[in-house]
Structure 1
Amino acid sequence: MVNMTKYTVIGAGAMGLRYGVLMQERTDNEVDFVDTWEPNVEKIKEQGGVFVSRDHEDKHLVPINIDYPEDYQGDPDVWIIFVKQMQLADMLKRCAHLFKDHQVVFTAMNGMGHIEKISKYFSDERIIGGTAMVATVLNGPGDVDFMGKPRTGVTHMVNKTEKNDERTLAIVKDFEEAGTGPVVTEKFMGTLMSKVVFNAVVNTLCTMFEIQMGQFIEYPGAKEMTWQLMNESFDACERAGIQLVETRAEEVESVDYVSRVANPFHYPSMYQDFSNGRPTEVDYINGYIAKLGREHDYTCRTHEFVTHEVHLAEAMRKYKKT
């Protein structure tokens, strides 16, 4: 008899749908979805599932179960959380009645600030944090596009206690079967910050100039800009006692490779929010790095400046001609 794990994804956006659909399609585990964005929930219910494409091709309907938090009756073993940072507190509050002591949560959200919010509902040994190095686009309600070839991308995973117990490793095996490329690490904050410092370059700069990652990296000064932001990030982390899982040079090369080779035609998630008139997560990425630096007597002047630049660009959208 196959031992099945029940997963419920909180946040049926681009990343939540990717991880949940792959888990549903490639494993024997049961998967549900919970979301609060009404157009998305109603569209999925209306069409009987979510339309899934890969690199804009092979669009097909995948049946999924989705509910609002107030209507959901499931009792999962594992929650997977992919929600925008500024929406998370309200989402967790609406889902609080569903949380139970036997449950574990995995999250690989962009930026920082989510772990503190999740920790109000789950003890440390029941929190698995991580990073998702993969590109996905939500074309609209009930319509998602997985970017990149199947079984590509990497998901770093580590228990908040930094002790990856049997339950954590069992979840890792499920992620392996689902093809999300799990890699187990041993440093919790170092793992999470490794994605933040990456996004602090690519997400932010591509958003400000409304360009694809490949267009950014073709600029002759892109690597110099990357080093400037990365050095500030690492300086702030080192002063805070956070050891990242990659070196400065490795992070810079990662930006180059992902932008030039892996996802040159991808618009980062921050741009997707910006271009659709939504608030960006810059305060939880560059703003978080700047805040971390100031808390440890170090000023990340470049990160502070680009945080203001993104907010300026947000404010100026009202003057943009349509």
Structure 2
Amino acid sequence: MKYAVLGAGAMGLRYGVLLQDAGYDVDFVDTWEPQVNTIHEQNGVYVSRDGQNKRLVPVNIYFPEDYEGDPDVLIIFTKQYGLAEMLQRCSRFFNDRQYVVSCMNGMGHIEKINQYFDKEKVLGGTALIGTVLNQAGDVDFIGKSGAGSMNIANQTEIPDEMTHKIVNEFQQANLNPNLTTNFLGTLMAKVVFNSVINTLCTMFKIRMGEFIQSDVASKLGVQLIDEAFDVCERAGITLLNTREEEWQTIQYVSEVTNPLHFPSMYQDISKQRPTEVDYINGYIYDLGTQYHYEAKTHDFLRNLVHLSEFAGTFDVDSYIKSVVATK
């Protein structure tokens, strides 16, 4: 099948390059000018694995307005706050036979996708796969070849022939997909995962492998997991894992699969980009309030991340250097 990846950031590049390496036809579409222009200038994207063995991979990348392809499957990997613009700019090449797969972080994207595609053609997924965009045109795949996994589910919760074909091709690309028939439970399981790993690693500027070594990691993680599960139970959402299994997943991914990984939220905040905390911890808190439950720890962490975003607008290092220089 022919794929078009909408959003050629870290995860979009990883999915697309792995599918391309497996022999499938892949195009990339992005709105970030430095990314598109740099890849054009380099005649490809530089790909490393755990910071080593950098290679130049030729890829086809376009701005939405320039793309003339006719893909069978769209893989969407934008940031939540940029999705509406991406969909609007790409809508000129959408059609009613295309399927959509989105493994974006957080919640809120499915409603936007449904404005363009019927739910029968929408697959939601979650990716436990670490990837870092070092700079425009330069991406680092975290973990050994074949590391990481993903869950995927039809919005209708009824897999069809096309679904099985997509899952098979993802398997050929070493993305290790697990097909479920629990749509909201599949998506929320990753939201809960990210509500622990993304926020805590970001606030304290540590990798996943460093976080999991802390004596208080389990206490903090279990507290956040318990609140999130309380919310989901009130909302009638059955998660893929039990509370205990959710923590075990966090342990395994942090210790074995991606110990060297800085989560995407840390990557955003370190580059002074907006984070997706409102779509993760904020989503859990807001969903809970609909059912008269306050997930206070999630709300507290959301506000801490926003304070950290605000603090990043001040050039503290320059201020300290100027003070030292005057002494």
TM-score calculated relative to the size of structure 2: 0.96
Matched, 1:10 2:6: yes
Partner SS for 1:242: coil
Paired position in structure 1 for 2:309: 314
The structural deviation recorded for 1:262 is: 2.1
The structural deviation recorded for 1:209 is: 1.0
Aligned-residue CA RMSD (Å): 0.8
Matched, 1:303 2:303: no
Paired position in structure 1 for 2:242: 247
User: What is the one-letter code of the residue matched to 2:16?
Assistant: G
Find 1:294's aligned residue among 284, 289, 292. 289
Give runs of aligned pairs for residues 229-244 of structure 1, distance below 5 A.
229-244=224-239
User: What is the one-letter code of the residue matched to 1:8?
Assistant: A
Matched, 1:165 2:156: no
Matched, 1:114 2:116: no
Give runs of aligned pairs for residues 14-29 of structure 1, distance below 5 A.
14-27=10-23, 29=24
- State the distance in 2 between where 1:139 and 1:226 align: 28
2:151–2:178 Cα contact (<8 Å) kept: yes
User: What is the one-letter code of the residue matched to 1:13?
Assistant: G
- State the distance in 1 between where 2:209 and 2:172 align: 31
Percent identity, please.
Answer: 57
Give runs of aligned pairs for residues 60-209 of structure 1, distance below 5 A.
60-209=55-204
TM-score calculated relative to the size of structure 1: 0.97
Query: Which digits, 9 at most, give the CA deviation of each residue in 1:110-134, with x for residues without a partner?
Result: 0110101001000011001110111
The structural deviation recorded for 1:24 is: 0.6
The structural deviation recorded for 1:270 is: 0.3
Query: Which digits, 9 at most, give the CA deviation of each residue in 1:8-30, with x for residues without a partner?
Result: 00000000000000101113x21
- State the distance in 2 between where 1:45 and 1:317 align: 32
Paired position in structure 2 for 1:273: 268
- State the distance in 1 between where 2:143 and 2:61 align: 26
Paired position in structure 1 for 2:323: none
- State the distance in 2 between where 1:40 and 1:55 align: 21
Paired position in structure 2 for 1:30: 25
- State the distance in 2 between where 1:38 and 1:224 align: 43
Moved over 3 A (4+): none
Query: Which digits, 9 at most, give the CA deviation of each residue in 1:29-83, with x for residues without a partner?
Result: 2110000000000000001010111111111111010100000001100000000
User: What is the one-letter code of the residue matched to 2:79?
Assistant: K
The structural deviation recorded for 1:215 is: 1.8
- State the distance in 1 between where 2:67 and 2:242 align: 43
- State the distance in 1 between where 2:22 and 2:175 align: 11
Partner SS for 1:318: coil
- State the distance in 2 between where 1:93 and 1:221 align: 44
- State the distance in 1 between where 2:15 and 2:211 align: 28
- State the distance in 2 between where 1:166 and 1:24 align: 22
Paired position in structure 2 for 1:48: 43
User: What is the one-letter code of the residue matched to 1:131?
Assistant: T
The structural deviation recorded for 1:318 is: 2.4
- State the distance in 2 between where 1:266 and 1:255 align: 13
Q: Which runs of 5+ in 1 are unaligned?
A: none
